[in-house]
Chains A and B, each alone.
Chain A
Amino acid sequence: MLVKILIKAYNGFIQNGSRRMSMRIGTKYFGELEIDESGIVEFERPLLAFEDKRKYVLLDGMDDLVFAFLQSVEDPKLCFLTVPPALIVNDYDIELSDEVVKLLGLESPTDVLLYNIVTVPENVDDMTVNLKAPIVINLKNKKAAQEVLADDKYEVRHRVQKAGE
């Protein structure tokens, strides 16, 4: 199975590539998958607590689930559940630091993809989303970083409201 990698913008990027190279990786939730190498996201600054892992692939639309799975290419057991912030809050207004803009080589806000990490404890109702430290991806070059926001508007453990509430 060739996995649909991320949203349309991504597809645009992949089609622009001269050659498509695929590779097989082990994943935490979906067994072994074939992914397009051009869809690999590389963290310029690794995720805190996972300093030795830099390469991930975003698996979106898997089995009709809402999550984009940020799966480590290097470690099948390492996979983050993420969601676009719009799924959680209406207006996610953030200011990216000069540091991350430079680090990812960002030239335009339209090149920015944002995802927030979801934590699902044993009691699923207590699920939280990290709105304080989004994952920032530059669509153009697929460089990524987790940006810890400077202002205090958002929480690391934002409680998710149940659907319909």
Chain B
Amino acid sequence: MLVLTRKKEEAIVIGEDIEIVIVDVGEDRVRIGINAPRELKVFRKELLEAVKEENKNSGQAASDILAASKLLKK
């Protein structure tokens, strides 16, 4: 893992077309600007972790499908 030190308004470039700018630095948070091609998806990691967790909860659980289905039936 590469670790770099950057100041406010400085940037790093990854490959040909990804640029990450440090927009602002606070006490315990930074604001980051990302310039990347549209087809490249950028997510907060905890969102992907949440999706992963939900997938696990749904895919592996032995769900009460009868009761659940009743609840959804209009």
Contacts and interface: CB of A to CB of B under 8 A. Distances in A.
Asked if A and B are interacting partners, one says: yes
Contact of B69 (A65, A97, A99): A65
Q: Is the interface of A mostly helix, strand, loop or mixed?
A: loop
Q: Is the interface of B mostly helix, strand, loop or mixed?
A: helix
A78 B59 contact: yes
Range of interface residues on chain B? 20 to 34
B71 A130 contact: no
Contacts of B56: 49
Contacts, number: 100
B49 to A, nearest CB: 9
Interface stretch (B1-9, B17-25, B40-48): B40-48
A3 to B, nearest CB: 16
Given A81-B63, A120-B65, A48 B71 contact: no
Interface of B: 38-41, 43, 47-48, 50-74
5 contacts: A49-B55, A118-B58, A146-B55, A148-B48, A156-B51
